[in-house]
Every structure is written in structure tokens, then in C-alpha cells.
Amino acid sequence: MSGARAAIRYAKAILSLATDQQAADVVNADMKLIVSTIAETKDLRDMLYNPVIPSSVKKSVLLEVFQDTNKTTLGLIDLLVSNKRIGILNDVALHYSQLLDQSKGVELATVTTAVPLTAELETKVLVKAKALTGKDVEVKNIVDESILGGFILRIGDLQYNASVANQLNKLKKEFTLN
């Protein structure tokens, strides 16, 4: 729990610094790069969370991998290493993007579908989600074949489940109760 709170504190501090330097969007691109790189690279993830590997090695690897990032992002990596908190880098990057979106009034809509969304469908979802929230919306598509068809839309704490699997479960419950 304290790791999550610490990640939020670091993210707020970096957002404040990046905003002062008018580099919030550039740093956000770096944070998204960090999240995707850590998610896609098992070796990097393992290295970050391995307590046996010295912090100096972790720092040199991270600075090499993310050498083309903004100086604020590099400063964050250096700060996390010196404070022995490099294991929360991914969480800090995630929270940074969320905080920046909140400050801009942008809401994240997660659409879970059985197949990837087409550009046309994504546009329709954007329009509908913007009408529901009254805010700018960014759509993230998650493909989950277990829903069979339809979609599940999540915006903040609202959820609309129009999946085929959900409809089948409702029918199953209805038949088992009678």
C-alpha cells in the first residue's frame, strides 16, 4: 500500500515539475514509453524487481534504455534509484499519465471486445462516451475473446456490459431459478 502512495506522490511531483517546465506532454510520452517497455520486456521487469541486482546496475540499464527521454524523466529515474524506490517506476509512470489526464479533463474509456475495434467503431465509441461524460475521452481497446461478442464499456466507475457472455449468464440464471 505504501508503494502505491509513494508512486502517487512521485507522480504528482514530476507532473508539477514538468508543468512548470512546460514539458508535461513530452514527459507523458516518456511515461507511456516506460510503461509499454516494462510491460513488453520481461528481462527489464525482472531486473527492476530483483533485490539482488545493485541499484547502480539498474540505473545504468534504465538510463541506457531510456536515453532519448526528457531530462525530467531521466531525473525521475535518478531520484528513484537514489531513494531506493526504482521498483515503483512503472507505477509512477502510470499515475503520472492518469494525473495529467485528470488535470486536462480527459477521461479514459476502456472498451473490451472480442475482436479489435475498427477505426469507425472507435470513433462511434468516442462520440458516445463524450456524450455520456461531457468530457474529452481517450479510448483504450482490450481484446478478450471470452466475452464471445458485444462489448463492455468502462468509463471511470461506470460500466455498461453488452457482451454475449453476460447475456448468456443472465439467461442461465433465469432458467436455473425457475
Query: Domains (ranges, CATH) in the chain?
Result: 2-102 (1.10.520.20), 106-177 (no CATH)
Query: Has residue 91 got a pLDDT over 80?
Result: yes
**pTM above threshold 0.75:** no
Q: pLDDT by residue (tens digit) across 132-153? A: 878 888 888 889 888 888 888 8
Q: pLDDT by residue (tens digit) across 25-37? A: 999 999 999 999 9
Higher pLDDT, 39 or 108: 39
Burial of 91-100, coded b for 16+ CB within 10 Å and e otherwise, reads bbbbbbbbbb
Q: Cell triple for residue 132?
A: 455520456
Q: Which residues pair with 159 in a beta bridge?
A: 154
Integer Cα distance of 136 and 106 in angstroms: 5
